[in-house]
Amino acid sequence: MPAIATASNLSNHPKLKISRYRDQLTRKRVEGVQVDYEYRGKKYSYSIRLSRTACNYGGNRNWWLCPSCTKRTSVLYCAGLYVCRHCIGGKYGSQLEQPIDNLFRRLDRIRTRLGWQDGIAHGIGERPKGMHRSTYDRLVNEHEQLTAKVWQASLDKLGCTS
Ligand SMILES: [Zn+2]
Ligand 1: centre distance to CA 29 (Å)? 23
Percent pLDDT > 70 in the chain is 80
In SS3 terms, the chain reads as CCCCCCHHHHCCCCEEEHHHHHHHHHHCCCCEEEEEEEECCEEEEEEEEEEEEECCCCCEEEEEECCCCCCEECEEEEECEEECHHHHHCHHHHHHCCHHHHHHHHHHHHHHHHCCCCCHHHCCCCCCCCCCHHHHHHHHHHHHHHHHHHHHHHHHHHCCCC
Ligand 1: centre distance to CA 72 (Å)? 8
Does the reported pTM lie above 0.85?
no
Percent pLDDT > 90 in the chain is 27
Ligand 1: centre distance to CA 121 (Å)? 31
Ligand 1: centre distance to CA 85 (Å)? 7
CA 30 – CA 156 distance, rounded (Å): 22
Identify the pLDDT of residue 2.
40
**Banded pLDDT at 138 (limits 50, 70, 90):** very high
Ligand 1: centre distance to CA 135 (Å)? 33
**Banded pLDDT at 8 (limits 50, 70, 90):** low
| Residue spans per domain, the chain | 10-88, 97-158
pLDDT digits (tens, 9 = 90+) for 41-88: 888 888 999 998 887 777 778 899 998 889 999 999 888 889 988 888
Ligand 1: centre distance to CA 55 (Å)? 23
pLDDT digits (tens, 9 = 90+) for 107-122: 889 999 999 987 777 7
Ligand 1: centre distance to CA 65 (Å)? 8
CA 19 – CA 139 distance, rounded (Å): 46
Ligand 1: centre distance to CA 70 (Å)? 6
Identify the pLDDT of residue 122.
79
Count of CB atoms situated within 10 Å of the CB of 96: 20
Ligand 1: centre distance to CA 98 (Å)? 18
